Amino acid sequence: MTALKDHPITKRWPPVREDVIQLYAFPTPNGVKVSIALEEMGLDYDPHLVTLADADVKSPEFLSLNPNNKIPAIIDPNGPNGETVALWESGAILIYLAEKTGQLMPTEGAAKYNVQKWLMFQMGGLGPMFGQIGFFVKFAGSQIEDPRPRERYINEGKRLLNVLEGALDGNDWIAGDYSIADIAIAPWLRALNFYGAKDMVGWNDLKNVPDYLDRFLERPAVQVGLNTPKRPE
């Protein structure tokens, strides 16, 4: 593994401190998962703003870290056995950070896999489906006249929200104690407001899910992580 000081990405985004985790992200639902986790875990890190423009995510420097040209990504110069660890995919990063610190995910037993189950629920369902809702409601897909694509994703979004609604009945957090699963799920719930899609997916018919999001947003580490790295002025 290339040491941090020799990694090509540092030519474009130089570290402020070479001995701490380097975060390359933008404050999207996927991006803030990692900044929130880092804040919750009390880990030192340098945040680097990588915009969603091709000039950033498709630059040779960023592609040297993530050939999939998506944020977030990290480099940890203090990985297992002193190795430098470079990671992308937000779910993989959350698991890595939880295992590194022993925080926000049980270290063994069924409870550990319960957290990972709900993390994968977000990675494979909630995130992709809500992202498509955003595309067809707020972005370029809103210009498509055929209503079927939008209806497909809105209906799936409703279904997924009702899965959460049931799982949260009588529970403050999705997998027992507050965990990386909540850090993955809640930012995507928040995105529905940005997309202007809350009414479409029946948000006001839910009780447990809105209360859950409110609890999440009240956490001090979440409030910091939601704005890290800071958006350009």
Residue extents of the structural domains in the chain: 4-104, 109-219
Buried b (16+ CB within 10 A) or exposed e, 107-124: eeeeebebbbebbebbbe
Which one is the CATH code of 109-219: 1.20.1050.10, 3.40.50.300, 1.20.120.1200, 1.20.210.10?
A: 1.20.1050.10
What gap in Å lies between CA 24 and CA 120, rounded to an integer? 22
CB atoms within 10 A of CB 199: 10
Q: What residues contact 211, with CB distance under 8 A and at least 6 apart? A: 168
* Separation of alpha carbons 74 and 34, rounded Å: 9
Q: What is the DSSP letter of 178?
A: S
- Residue 232 is predicted with a pLDDT of 80
Residue 231: the pLDDT is: 86
- What pLDDT is attached to residue 8? 97
Residue 31: what pLDDT? 98
Q: How confident is the model at residue 84, as a pLDDT? A: 96
Q: Which pLDDT score is estimated for 233?
A: 73
Digit-by-digit pLDDT tens for the chain (233 residues) are 678 989 999 999 999 999 999 999 999 999 999 999 999 999 999 999 999 999 999 999 999 999 999 999 999 999 999 999 999 999 999 999 999 999 999 999 999 999 999 999 999 999 999 999 999 999 989 999 999 999 999 999 999 999 999 999 999 999 999 999 999 999 999 999 999 999 999 999 999 999 999 999 999 999 999 999 998 87
Question: In angstroms, how far apart are the furthest CA atoms of the chain?
Answer: 55
Question: Rounded CA gap, 2 and 57, in Å?
Answer: 20
CATH superfamily of 4-104: Glutaredoxin (3.40.30.10)
According to the model, what pLDDT value does residue 1 have? 62
